[in-house]
Structure 1
Amino acid sequence: MSRAFVKETDAVDELPEKLVSEHRNLVTPEGLAMIEEEVARLQVELGEAQRAEERDAIQRVSRDLRYWNARLVTAEVQPAPGDLSEVSFGATVTFERNDGRVQIFRLVGEDEANPTKGTISYTSPLAQALMGKSVGDVVKAGGGEAEITKIE
């Protein structure tokens, strides 16, 4: 049927799917809990949208729920790092940039990363530069360099 004969209220534009990373879905235990909470929240929101017959909300929440369910199914929970002699997933790294700034970041999964709260994705360029390095090592960080001063 031509869209010319569809009532405007019946026409719902398809939302594009959220892209799922090609990287392994490594998560901390806290990251797994965050994903589980998001799935539970979206399930409630979907039920509410269905009861209210809000088609746009149903479509949006369904799309988000598909994304988070995919992330839940593929989540690989990583234990806390046992060996802190070098940077690995889950470690908290303190480093000093060549401009004097001291920064502290924990390397976490992609969905739980929030640089403003001190976490970065293990797939980020900075995390990749830090991985496998030890205290005293210097890595390329942005346009400059940074020396690792502590690994926790």
Structure 2
Amino acid sequence: MNYITQEGFYRLTEELSFLWKTKRPEIVRAISTAAAEGDRSENAEYIYRKKELRETDRKIRYLERHLKDINVVRDKPRQQDKVFFGAYVLLEDENGQQKQYRIVGGIEARGEENEISVKSPVAQALIGKLLDEEVEVLLPDKSKICYTILDIKY
């Protein structure tokens, strides 16, 4: 079973709705307009829009397939000083650098938002740990990094 936060579920269902109701119809109209201009084999706008439609349809299929097989986690855990799915975790490394991550489902993880998949090495090392506990993370390149958990929020 794949898990997703309530916020992630809302964001992805909104994205799916936008793709179906707004973006796809706009692309189809643009294809029709470009097709009316003549020879399609040399029509750059037509070729571009067809490619854009394929990519949009692929994203729609991906979201539909994954959103039907997920479990939305709505409740906060009873023990809030322990890291579980959905937690915002503030970490400090050995050099005093601080980082904050949120542990989310793989389909909703956005690195630029500091959201990490529950299946990532960092999340796997954090799950079940307590506030002020030290955590050693084994990275894919076999290097290790140590963190101290400074804060946990839900």
On whether the aligned pair clears a TM of 0.5, the verdict is: yes
User: Is 1:126 paired with 2:112?
Assistant: no
Q: Which moved more, 1:112-121 or 1:88-97?
A: 112-121
For the Cα contact (< 8 Å) 1:80–1:91, is it kept in 2? no
Which residue of the partner structure matches residue 80 of structure 2?
A: 84
**In angstroms, what is the RMSD of aligned CA positions?**
1.8
Counterpart in 1 of 2:65?
70
The TM-score with structure 2 as length reference comes to 0.74
Do 1:93 and 1:150's aligned partners in 2 also have CA atoms closer than 8 Å? yes
User: Over residues 5-52 of structure 1, what are the superposed CA-to-partner deviations in whole Å (9 max), with x where a residue is unaligned?
Assistant: xxxxxxxxxxxxxxxxxxx43111110011111111111322222333
Runs of 5+ unmatched residues, structure 1: 1-23
The number of residue pairs the alignment matches comes to: 129
Give ranges in structure 2 of 5+ residues lacking alignment: 32-48
Relative to structure 2, which stretch is displaced further, 81-90 or 55-64? 55-64
Higher helix share: 2
Q: 32, 35, 48: which one pairs with 2:26?
A: 48
2:4 equivalent among 14, 20, 27: 27
Counterpart position of 2:145: 144
Q: TM-score, normalised by structure 1?
A: 0.75
- Code of the aligned partner of 2:152: I
Partners of 1:129 and 1:139 within 8 A in 2: yes
